[in-house]
Structure 1
Amino acid sequence: MTLLTLPLVLDMSGVQLSDEQFYQLCLSNPDIPLERDARGALIVMAPVGGNSGSRELEFGIDLGLWNRRTRLGTVFSSSTLFRLPNGGDRSPDAAWVEQSRWLALSPEDRQKFPPIAPDFVMELRSRTDSLEWLHSKMQEYMDSGVRLGWLFNPQAQQVEIYRPGVPSEVRSLPTELSGESVLPGFLLTVARFKEE
């Protein structure tokens, strides 16, 4: 039996959904997590299993605790959909936006899908995620103005660090990650992932 690799991508080349139509589609189908790539293709996201969900939350907690201490920005969960400048609508597993950029958005923009590229994104590969698809998603983030991104790959015991304009850096686990100038003072110690 072949394991279905999700997400499911629906070609929408014959249909152009406006931002408001996409927003209403998501509201009308709250049990179906959707994203949209820069070309307008709809992406049906798969739910994650227990290991991935736990890891995702643990990394998000570390980011949130750092932000609570520094008060430099706003942290977002994987349920937040960002309307990226390049036309995509994406939900990173965790994200952070610098405070002045967040507050520059109108109250309505902050209430809906924020039309902003986060300064920092984090993605965690689950067992059903194609690595090629995640690489493409991370590149889309960089092309949209994200300043730092981390892609965790438990299957390879690695993390990939993305920065604008340079090739990604691959590190084997265990390692310590720095938030660099984007998340000043944020350090994340990442152990080897337990075998699944």
Structure 2
Amino acid sequence: MATIQKQVTDRDIETLLMSLDPPRIIIPDCDPKQFEKIISVNSRFLQMSLIKGQLEIMPPLPFHIESSAEKLQIIGQVGCWCDDNKNLVGIPSSSQGGFRLLKLEDPNYPNKHTVLSPGCAVVLKPRWDSLTDEAQKVSFPPVTPNFIIELYSRYDYVQNLHQKMVQWVNAGVDEAISINLNIDPTEIRIYSFNPEANKVVWQTMKDPVEVRSQVLEGFVLNMEKVRMYKK
């Protein structure tokens, strides 16, 4: 009997990926040196996080030019603000950089580090200058950004990214912005810590023209430019 082979399309791959919950590989008990070796070889191809010594690897996903253009717009706008405010900035970062988040680590297990990579981040000068010269030069400096932006991809699970945003704020981020362009209307969430309620809170915006930061003085994210290549 002849075998009928079905050609696998990009849509078939997307459907498979979205059926996984979530599509990731978990490696327990990954020490900091192992993590640095793994990420130095694979960071251009895989998205990786270290959570209390557990390595989480997101497999490569299909490339979409729209997402790339949107990320470039966000990083470009934040970069322009940093260029114009060099006296306020310690260091900016993209998804290629990572930070060790001490507040999320268990002091009883000093070798189980937590390292996350934001889509876009800014560490302001006072926080960056509080590090020693040696700490500033390590691969994943032990400092929490003051400000981050995360952009949903079409493969993200909303609840997973929400949990990551809460993690960022619990780690000490003053303002964490998530942007979801995959729904209509566009949804922006601005996360922060409410000391009176002693918990992470967030404000939701629907299809805003701009987003004004309360942490980066004078920074306004132009959402029309971010969405300009969105079909």
TM-score by length of 2: 0.75
Q: Percent identity?
A: 28
Instruction: Read off the aligned partner of 1:155 and give its amino acid letter.
Output: N
> Which of 42, 45, 58 is the aligned partner of 1:29?
42
Q: Is the contact made by 1:11 and 1:41 (CA closer than 8 Å) also made in structure 2? A: yes
User: Which amino acid in structure 1 is aligned with residue 54 of structure 2?
Assistant: G
> Is 1:125 aligned to residue 152 of structure 2?
yes
Match of 1:16 in 2: 29
Partner Cα separation in structure 1 for residue 66 and residue 187 of structure 2 = 16
Q: After the TM superposition, which residues 24-173 of structure 1 pair with which residues of structure 2 at under 5 Å, given as runs?
A: 24-30=37-43, 31-38=45-52, 40-44=54-58, 46=60, 48-71=63-86, 72-73=88-89, 74-85=91-102, 86-87=104-105, 88-111=114-137, 112-156=139-183, 157-165=186-194, 166-173=200-207
Q: Secondary structure at the match of 1:169?
A: strand
- More divergent stretch after superposition (79-88 vs 142-151): 79-88
Deviation at 1:54, TM superposition (A): 1.1
4+ residue segments displaced more than 6 Å? none
Letter in 1 for 2:31: S
Q: Following TM superposition, by how much is the alpha carbon of 1:69 offset from its aligned partner in structure 2, in angstroms?
A: 0.8
The letter for the 2-side match of 1:44 is M
**Offset of residue 33 of structure 1:** 3.3
CA deviations 1:7-44 (Å, max 9, x no partner) are: 633334xx422222211221243443321234624232
Q: TM-score, normalised by structure 1?
A: 0.87
Q: How many residues align?
A: 193
Find the aligned partners of 1:107 and 1:44 in 2 and give their Cα distance: 32
Residue 195 of structure 1 and its aligned partner are, at CA, apart by 4.9
Shift of 1:83: 1.2
Structure of greater Rg: 2
Cα offset for 1:50?
1.3
Name the CA shift for 1:172/1:128 in 2 (closer, same or farther; >3 Å): same
Distance in 1 between the 2:171 and 2:153 partners?
Answer: 24
Q: Is the 8 A contact 1:174 1:189 kept in 2?
A: no
